[in-house]
Each structure stands twice: as C-alpha cells, then as structure tokens.
C-alpha cells in the first residue's frame, strides 16, 4: 500500500492555514474595537477592511468545500457501478486502506484499493459506495469494523488497513 503521510501532512497544513487566516481576521476585529475605543476612525476603517477581506477568504474556502461536495453527489458524477466492480474482482484485490480527509466542516471517508499494481481511490460521496463496501465483504479476512477504526476521532488523521493479501 502507498504511504499517505505526505497527503496527510498537506491536508493538516491546509487546515492549519485556513484556521490561521480565520484567527488573524478575528484579531483584526479585536484591533478595530481597540481603535474605535481610541476614536481613531482611519485605524478602524483599515482594520475592518483587512478583517473583512480575511473573513471573505475564509468563507470562500467553506463555500468551495460545500460546492465540491455538492458537485460530487450530482447525477453526472462518477458512480461505482457494475462495470467498476467487475474491474475489481475480489480475487485480484491485494489491499484496501480506509482513511479520511478533513473537509473543514466534516470528514470524507475514502479508500484506496490496490489491484494488479494499480491503486483505485474511492470516497463515500460517490454513488454506489455501499455496493463497493458490500463487494469488499466477500473478501476473506476483510476487516468489517473498518468504519469504527477510521471515523474516530473526528477531524483527526486516521487510517486503517482493512485487507492485505498474504
């Protein structure tokens, strides 16, 4: 199975940057309060403008996340159908790793399936996710409690190997 430490580090870095941006915006709002208390109109306007720009950026990140999730659940999005499952016969699956991606407001459960030297990546918002999980249950030695292992704690990096062919 491929190492996901670089991907997880990138996700954690992006999450940290987004929250830092939000906190800087809050600090600017606090600065506006101090400037207002000192009755410096110019300082109030500058601090509020910078805080507004940072706040809009943070809200833009939240909206982008929502839009991506919405688009991936539309009918035109890829689906895990019979053709996909036929391309992944259980006899040829070498390994399955479940993990989650932090999507700012929630987590997205994903899995990487290695088969014949290729890695297929799926996520829970794809149509047919339940069919894929049912397909995996036909594997002898498949870890059926994978969800409990990967879903907790929320917003933390979590990965579990659900199947490895020996």
> What are 57-72's pLDDT values in tens digits?
666 666 555 555 554 4
> What are 99-150's pLDDT values in tens digits?
998 877 788 899 999 999 999 999 998 889 999 999 999 999 999 999 999 9
Which neighbouring-strand residues pair with 96?
Answer: 113, 163
DSSP assignment string, 42-69: HHHHHHHHHHHHHHHHHHHHHHHHHHHH
| pLDDT of 153 | 83
99 and 4 Cβ atoms separated by less than 8 Å:
yes
CA 103 and chain centroid, separation: 4
| pLDDT of 115 | 92
pTM of the model: 0.56
Q: In the chain, what are the domain boundaries?
A: 5-72, 82-164
**CB within 8 A of 78, min separation 6: which ones?**
126
């Amino acid at each position: 199975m491929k190492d996901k430490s670089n991907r997880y580090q990138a996700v954690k870095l992006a999450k940290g940057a987004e929250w830092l941006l939000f906190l800087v915006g809050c600090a600017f709002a606090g600065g506006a309060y101090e400037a207002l208390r000192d009755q410096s109109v110019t300082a109030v306007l500058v601090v509020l403008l910078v805080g507004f720009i940072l706040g809009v950026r943070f809200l833009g990140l939240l909206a982008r996340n929502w839009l991506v999730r919405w688009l991936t659940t539309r009918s035109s999005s890829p689906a895990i159908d019979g053709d996909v499952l036929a391309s992944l016969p259980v006899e040829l699956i070498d390994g399955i790793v479940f993990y989650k991606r932090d999507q700012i407001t929630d987590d997205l459960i994903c899995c990487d399936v290695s088969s014949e030297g290729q890695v297929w990546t799926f996520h829970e918002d794809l149509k047919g996710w339940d069919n894929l999980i049912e397909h995996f249950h036909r594997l002898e030695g498949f870890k059926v409690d994978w969800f409990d292992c990967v879903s907790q704690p929320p917003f933390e990096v979590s990965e579990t190997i659900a199947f490895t062919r020996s």
